[in-house]
Amino acid sequence: MSKCKRHGRLQQQDSLRSWLVCCTATISDSVHLSLSHCFALILPILVEEFNETRENAAWIGSIAYSMTFLLSPLCTLCCKYFGCRKTAVVGNLSCAAGLVISSFSTSFHLLYFSYSILLGAGGSLLHISGILLVQRYFNKKRSLATGVVSTGSSFGAVLGPLYQLLIQRVGWKNTYRMIASCFSVSILLVLLFYSGDVDDGSKESDEESNKESEDKRERKTKNCWPNINFSYWNSAFIIAVVTITIQSLGIYIPLIHLVKYTNEIGLPPQKASMLFIYIGVVSFFGKIIAGRLCDYPGISSFWVNQIAGVISGLSIIFLQFPSDERGFIAFACCYGLGLGSFITSLYLVFLNSVRPMDRPIALATGEVISSLSVLVGPPFIGFIADKLDSYIMAFAVAGGIVIAASLIPFLRICIKSDPLSQDQIHQVLLEEVILIERETVL
């Protein structure tokens, strides 16, 4: 019996149900990423309560954040073999379990498992399942829907002041328990709206569909792992990977160390937490602006990435100069613009640097490699701050790394390349999305 008959009427693309799926994915992403983007609120508490260094405390947050990207290939396989719905439910449970265990932890080292591993892995499952499912539920408005889901990190950062208020009123442990309960709402939404019964134009007749399913099962049995191919490592992709990886060493530093630094110079925690609202809102518009710029013919995604890197790097360097709230607000706006533009350009740089057939593996490879920098960057800067007992030189190093990395794409001038036109890029992306949709069994 075909899937259509088993589950009844298929949902239509670009329908109300599609937007409910999109909102569910955005909410799940927002709750998870809010913890990563607001980890700076927890870092000074961990330093004080467990008598740890800035470096050790930073490892907790950086591991959790990097896991979102580091596990993306594995999570994609989970969605393919178990379905986006089951993958999302497991992701929510993992995130909730991580927070609950962390809230009862009396050992700093236990946080590496409960917060860094469980929360990080769960967040990756949530993020990938939401992105893949949205691709299936949208056709004409697919780009818009994907953009809405990608704004989860921006919405999450806006929750910073609320988290700070809860921490002051009930403590960080009870705050984590309350946030864990929010994932139960996410699970309910996933069970209600996540479904594979969508008419994405790839359905065939019952007989052909059954034959195709049997062929797929036979191929999976014979060969469970895809062939490894390194032919996509052309000069443009190598430059892209090196650039993004080095930029990632320093560009996420404020998300981990900002509140600790502001506390040291006398800015109250509640006012420091308000900075995340400015970062979140401005980064939202930065993503939109960067995406629109990359749509224009003649504007390379590398150029947008370079501009984003310079803005972010200068913002981090000049973070040492503000002494009052207005100065930090100016920093938050500049940094948010650079960060949002960087995140959008990151994906486009990876995708546009390789041949059409190599885009999925190239994107996964780029995310995995750059996630290693996300992992070690914040602890490295914390190590410098610990040794010098000051963040001034640490921020200068972080910003300098980002700016220096942003100059690397100029090497493309010395290398002959034949970039795709914008029309070719959009057509290829559409074909890749359709391919992923057809291979993703929910």
DSSP one-letter code for 199:
E
pLDDT confidence tier of residue 440, bands split at 50, 70 and 90: very low
- Of residues 69 and 216, more confidence is placed in 69
Q: What is the pLDDT of residue 205?
A: 35
CA distances from 437 to 196, 199, 215, 335, 355 (A): 10, 11, 17, 35, 20
Q: What is the pLDDT of residue 142?
A: 62
Q: Measured at the alpha carbon of residue 99, what is the angle toward residues 194 and 343, in degrees to the nearest 5? A: 60
pLDDT confidence tier of residue 178, bands split at 50, 70 and 90: very high
Q: Which of 41-45, 69-73, 138-142 has the lowest mean pLDDT?
A: 138-142
Q: What is the pLDDT of residue 251?
A: 94
> Residue 242: is its pLDDT beyond 90?
yes
- Of residues 432 and 20, more confidence is placed in 20
What's the CA gap between 413 and 415, in Å, rounded? Answer: 6
CA atoms within 13 A on the CB side of 135: 22
- The model's pLDDT over 79-108, given as tens digits with 9 standing for 90+, comes to 888 888 899 999 999 999 999 999 998 899
- The model's pLDDT over 307-318, given as tens digits with 9 standing for 90+, comes to 999 999 999 999
pLDDT confidence tier of residue 77, bands split at 50, 70 and 90: confident
Q: What is the pLDDT of residue 407?
A: 95
Q: What is the pLDDT of residue 3?
A: 41
- Of residues 404 and 323, more confidence is placed in 404
pLDDT confidence tier of residue 69, bands split at 50, 70 and 90: confident
Q: What is the pLDDT of residue 201?
A: 55
Q: What is the pLDDT of residue 18?
A: 81
From 155, 173, 153, 175, select the one nearest 165 (Cα to Cα): 175
pLDDT confidence tier of residue 416, bands split at 50, 70 and 90: low
- Using a pLDDT cut of 70, give the percent of the chain over it: 80
Q: Would you call 52 helix, strand, or coil by DSSP?
A: coil
When pLDDT is averaged across residues 252-260 and rounded to a whole number, the result is 90
From 380, 373, 371, select the one nearest 127 (Cα to Cα): 371
Domains detected in the chain: 14-196 (1.20.1250.20), 232-441 (1.20.1250.20)
- Of residues 33 and 428, more confidence is placed in 33
Residues 6+ away with beta carbon under 8 Å from 154: 280, 281, 283, 284, 287, 340
- The model's pLDDT over 339-398, given as tens digits with 9 standing for 90+, comes to 988 988 887 788 778 876 776 677 778 888 998 999 999 999 999 999 998 899 999 999
What's the CA gap between 307 and 404, in Å, rounded? Answer: 12
Other CB atoms within a 10 A radius of the CB of residue 398 amount to: 28
> Residue 433: is its pLDDT beyond 60?
no
- Of residues 111 and 361, more confidence is placed in 111
> Residue 223: is its pLDDT beyond 70?
no
Q: What is the pLDDT of residue 437?
A: 42
When pLDDT is averaged across residues 323-329 and rounded to a whole number, the result is 88
Q: For all residues of the chain together, what is the average pLDDT? A: 80
Q: What is the pLDDT of residue 164?
A: 86
When pLDDT is averaged across residues 24-47 and rounded to a whole number, the result is 86
What's the CA gap between 12 and 201, in Å, rounded? Answer: 10
From 58, 71, 157, 168, select the one nearest 111 (Cα to Cα): 58
> Residue 259: is its pLDDT beyond 90?
no
Q: Spell out a b/e string for 281-320, using b for 16 or more CB atoms within 10 Å of the CB, else e.
A: bbbbebbbbbbebbeeeeebbbebbbbbbbbbbbbbbbbb
Beta strands, E only, 288-431: none
